[in-house]
Amino acid sequence: MFKKSNPTFNFLKKFLIILGKMSFRWYTRTSLEYTERMSKEVFIKGKVVEGRKLGTKLGFPTINVVYKGDVSGIFIGEILLGGKWKRAAVHVGRKPTINDHEPNLEVHVLSFKKEMEREVVAGKEVIVKLLNKIRDTEKFKTLEELKAKISEDVEFIKNWYNQR
């Protein structure tokens, strides 16, 4: 339909989000890259590992999971913690901004509570569900630019869940 770099696409994206619930659902189903190819949910199972705590320093703590696949990008997702699916923002792939070229999976739980910490200890196996890809991984010039984009992604994902 429209390419993400197309000015018309960018205008429509902003316009449709403003229109509300019905238009927002149309936008996420038809215009976002990867949603058609992800007609089925993608599940990734892996072990939690200790991270560098960069997400925490940026204000977005993450659960780091061992990952060796070829899927990459920023996703609307969920993680199974304590027997319940928790809404999340998920990064899958390399981290070019900090020159980390090893693929990994990071999960930022949108409503993380202190009592969930026992569910995410290093070595424990977790299941992550990818629902929709919202964008590709990018390289940013500064950590402040990265932080701003993560904030924008998290807001987008919260809005997506609120519209469902």
- Pick from 126, 38, 112, 113: which is nearest to 76 by CA? 38
Taking Cα atoms as reference points, which of 29, 115, 142, 120 lies closest to residue 76?
29
Residue pLDDT, tens place only, 16-70: 443 333 333 333 333 333 333 455 788 999 999 988 888 889 999 999 999 888 8
Q: Which residue has the higher pLDDT, 10 or 120?
A: 120
The 8-class DSSP code of residue 126 comes to E
Contact 55, 61 (CB under 8 A): yes
- Split at pLDDT 50, 70, 90, the class of 15 is very low
102-148: pLDDT as tens digits: 888 999 999 887 666 767 778 889 999 999 999 999 999 999 999 99
CATH 2.40.30.30 residue ranges in the chain? 40-162
Backbone torsions φ then ψ of 82, nearest 5 degrees: 60, 30
Is 144 within 8 Å of 102 (Cβ atoms)? no
58/2 Cα distance (integer angstroms): 33
**Protein fold of 40-162:** Elongation Factor Tu (Ef-tu); domain 3 (2.40.30)
**DSSP 8-state secondary structure symbol assigned to residue 6:** S
100: pLDDT confidence band, cut at 50, 70 and 90? confident
